[in-house]
Structure 1
Amino acid sequence: MMIQSLKVALFTRRSLQSVRLLTQKRSQCSLPDHSSDDDLDQQVLVEGSAWSRTAILNRPSALNALNTNMGARLLKLYNSWEENPDVGFVVMKGSGRAFCAGGDIVSLYRFINEGKMEECKKFFSTLYTFMYIVGTYLKPHVAILNGITMGGGAGVSLPGTFRVATDKTVFAFPEALIGFHPDAGASFHLSHLPGRLGEYLALTGEKLKGEEMVACGVATHYFHSSRLSLIEEHLRSLVTDDASVIESSLEKYGDLVYPDKTSVLHRIETLDKCFSHDTVEEIIDSLETESAGTNDPWYTSTLKRLKEASPLSMKVALKSIREGRYQTFDQCLTREYRMSLQGTSMQISGDFREGVRARMVDKDSLPKWNPPTLEQVSEDMVNQYFSPLSDFEPELDLPTKLREAFP
């Protein structure tokens, strides 16, 4: 199969002709502004040019991990830029060696230990709402994914118009390895990848390189990192609100690349065969059957990663991806909000807290999952993950009546 044939139109490009007609209908999000403190403002920096604004995620020591404050500040900035007729398009990038490594899970770990469930809710509702804003933004959006781009970092970039990958980009949704579920819109994005690539990435947490991201449609363009300053300077010089002009500029300077022969994208038929099964147990059995009699290290590596992940998280992730295939972006975010609250509530399992402890806090890489095996994960446990915390728990309140979600 030609790699080029793997390209898919994940995201519908929005026509900017409707901007002036719809802007009057949009109101700013009502989430409170938590970014009045100068130090907190430094976590998202702003660069301006004649016709664009650049949001810079600026927590380099934490690989630009997103916290509630950053989400609130981004919401405020993006709403003001969307209403400003002098801003034609928006750029997002990161400081240091990461675009964004995801959500600040260590902060969530502390919230859980301190019994601050309301802080967990605020974290997810703020960031998921911002992701929805990016996904329904009226102006072109360019995310420069130079460096680590995982979890929430993908969540704030993939819904936008353009995603630029580089030779330094490392992309993944590794949540199952920390006892969580692929969130931040992952169930929508991953389920729309070619074949069963989404299931593979969700269950194993494996990484994609920049070239692979372009080939499968996760990224729209590719540049060598040595040329990024040139590209950014060119973007700053543009005087336009036309997505086609920005696209032409990115294509003019972009590099044509192909995944190397070791890429998992050359195994799409194998992924379709093994990861299309109904259960995680059947997926593992299929991989073991296919690997029998071969010395292919890919099977060994894939099975090893599956055995390292939380059994509950894998079953939840598989169900989430399968549901995401038939839901809109806003429906996926709303469902994932319920799942994230369940995952941090400790009512079903403490796997998230244990996974963060083992991977990020104590760093012993020896999480004790509960339940410890796939066989002990009941269907009721998985289904509970998809339910509200209680009959009185409000759903994620996205501004869907003001902003149309893409299908």
Structure 2
Amino acid sequence: MQSSTLVRRWIRSARFFPNSRSLSSHHSNPHKVDDLDGQVLVEGKAHSRTAILNRPSSLNALNTNIGARLLNFYQAWENDPDIGLVMLKGRGRAFCAGGDIVSLYHLINQGKIEECKEFFGTLYTFIYLLGTYLKPHVAILDGITMGGGAGVSIPGTFRVATNKTVFATPETLIGFHPDAGASFYLSHLPGYLGEYLALTGDKLVGAEMIACGLATHYTHSEKLPQIEEQLGNLVTDDPSIIETSLEQCGDLVYPDKTSVLPRIETVDKCFSHDTVEEIFDALKCEASKDEWCSSTLKKLEATAPLSLKVSLRSIREGRFQTLDQCLIREYRMSLQGISKQISGDFCEGVRARVVDKDFAPKWDPPSLEHVSEDMVDCYFSRLSESEPELELPTKQREAFT
């Protein structure tokens, strides 16, 4: 009971984002034939706009075009005094499964690194815009919500999870690191849950998201049309009115006994250590008396050793940084991850899990003992002295902690 109360207090206090003001009308035909234009559709009502991620066959995977269109729409809506509320949802069985890693894989192999940089820069800039948005934002997380999909939703004011929501940050499984602002929001979860999710890539369902604060509201998927209609009819930019509307349609739900959340004490005991090696040792000590620790060890053993060390450090740094600082650092890390200067793990991970699907990646380095401190340090550095940092409009948009 005590830990449940603490989590609920945390949910109430963890509204990642500040007050809302008024935003520019930008009408878009939801039936455009042009493929690029059609990747983000818009539904408009008198006082609200809804952006719809529209790549259902790719589980709404993000690309540079989608990031740029979202940026343009959101900037226009922010300046329109008639729009009080902005919503984001996905078509099909996913909200958004993350970045289009297959396209990135091919771009890297073709030597088109500048196009990869543009993807990360555009996406991270949109995430910062969302995190500092001046109007209430509601993300409808119905279906798969992973990686970059969480990045373009969690920094907003409200996140509605459903019985179909599946959340994860599975980047260590493809030799990468949880990015798109993940080092910010994961590091603010209760205890060391963020480290657990970042390192294992484990999934959470909607009930777990609401319990730990990743989501602000929960509802059954069947109620979404009613909720969207109700929100669309509001004439307000007052977050408290929008919250009341969401709560009226919300459902009370609790994680089941198979959830990781009732094991938060074990998670804290094992994942609070300073190094990945110590985390492994702690899990091994508990494995003989706890099957969950044994299965968690197996999950970690399937991930890239370099990614584990890099991701742990990223989450730990994120605890003491603002969203913009996390995004700027993650941008450096992402460019290192795709450059192959330190390791080719990202391309190897995507090849093994998504392209060839042999699920037998050959990680480089192959084990934790081969991952040097210098390698990890390099991951947090710019590609070169001449490589520009990610430029975010921090002087125009107030940073937050």
Q: TM-score, normalised by structure 2?
A: 0.95
- The alpha-carbon deviation at position 39 of structure 1 amounts to 1.4
The C-alpha deviation readout for 1:297-320, integer Å capped at 9, x for no partner, is 312221111000000000000000
Which residue does the alignment assign to 2:15? 11
Give the C-alpha shift of residue 38 in structure 1: 2.1
Q: How many residue pairs were aligned? A: 390
Deviation at 1:75, TM superposition (A): 0.4
| Greater mean alpha carbon deviation, residues 331-340 or residues 81-90 | 81-90
1:58 maps onto 2:62 in alignment: no
Residue 131 of structure 1: which of 127, 137, 142 is its match?
A: 127
2:283 alignment partner in structure 1: 287
Q: Tell me the alpha carbon deviations over residues 320-367 of structure 1, each in whole angstroms, 9 at most, x when there is no partner.
A: 000000111100000000000000000000000000000110011110
Following TM superposition, by how much is the alpha carbon of 1:37 offset from its aligned partner in structure 2, in angstroms? 8.8
Mapped partners of 1:12, 1:265: distance in 2:
21
1:6-405 alignment, distance < 5 Å = 6-7=7-8, 8=10, 9-16=13-20, 19=21, 38-292=34-288, 294=289, 296-405=290-399
Does the 8 Å contact 1:10/1:189 carry over to 2? no
Q: Deviations over 1:50-85 (max 9, x none)?
A: 110000000000000000000000000000000111
Q: Which amino acid aligns with 2:157?
A: T
RMSD: 1.4
Structure 1 residues 215 and 4: alpha-carbon distance in aligned structure 2, compared to 1, 3 A threshold: farther
**TM-score of the aligned structures, taking structure 1 as reference length:** 0.94
Q: Secondary structure at the match of 1:313?
A: helix
**1:79-104 residue CA offsets vs partner (Å, 9 max, x unmatched):** 00001111111000000000000001
**Letter aligned with residue 158 of structure 2:** F
Contact 1:134 1:159 survives alignment (8 Å): yes
The code of the aligned residue for 1:150 comes to: M
Q: Which residue of structure 2 lines up, in the alignment, with residue 33 of structure 1?
A: none
Equivalent-residue separation in structure 2 for 1:325 and 1:167 (angstroms): 30
Provide the C-alpha distance between the structure 2 equivalents of 1:115 and 1:11, rounded to a whole number of angstroms: 41
Unaligned runs of 5+ in 2: 25-31
CA separation of 1:204 and 1:12: change in aligned 2, threshold 3 A: closer
Mapped to 2, the partners of 1:177 and 1:11 lie a distance apart of 30
Query: Match of 2:36, SS?
Result: helix
| 3-state SS of paired residue (1:118) | helix
- In the aligned structure 2, how far is the partner of 1:240 from the partner of 1:338? 39
Q: Report if the CA contact (8 A) 1:179-1:354 is conserved.
A: yes
The whole-number CA distance in structure 1 between the counterparts of 2:73 and 2:40 is: 10
Q: Distance in 1 between matches of 2:62 and 2:176?
A: 16
Task: Give 1:13 deviation, angstroms.
Answer: 4.3
Amino acid at match of 1:389: L
Name the SS of the counterpart of 2:35 in structure 1.
helix
* Aligned residues with identical type, % of pairs: 71
Q: Deviations over 1:268-292 (max 9, x none)?
A: 1111111011111110110010122
Cα distance in 2 for partners of 1:68, 1:2 equals 41
Query: Structure 2 counterpart of 1:251, which letter?
Result: E
1:376-406 Cα offsets, whole Å, 9 max, x none, are 0000000100000000000000000000121
Shift of 1:12: 4.1
- Worse-superposed segment, 268-277 or 137-146: 268-277
Contact 1:105-1:356 within 8 A present in 2 as well: yes
How far apart in 1 are the matches of 2:84 and 2:281? 52
Q: Distance in 2 between the 1:4 and 1:177 partners? A: 33
CA distance in 2, matches of 1:382, 1:271: 24
Structure 2 CA distance, aligned partners of 1:291 and 1:103? 34
Q: Answer yes or no: is the 8 Å Cα contact 1:71–1:130 preserved in 2.
A: yes
Give the Cα separation in 2 of the matches to 1:69 and 1:159. Answer: 20
Q: Give the secondary-structure state (helix, strand or coil) at the position aligned to 1:38.
A: coil
Provide the secondary structure at the position in 1 that maps to 2:215: coil
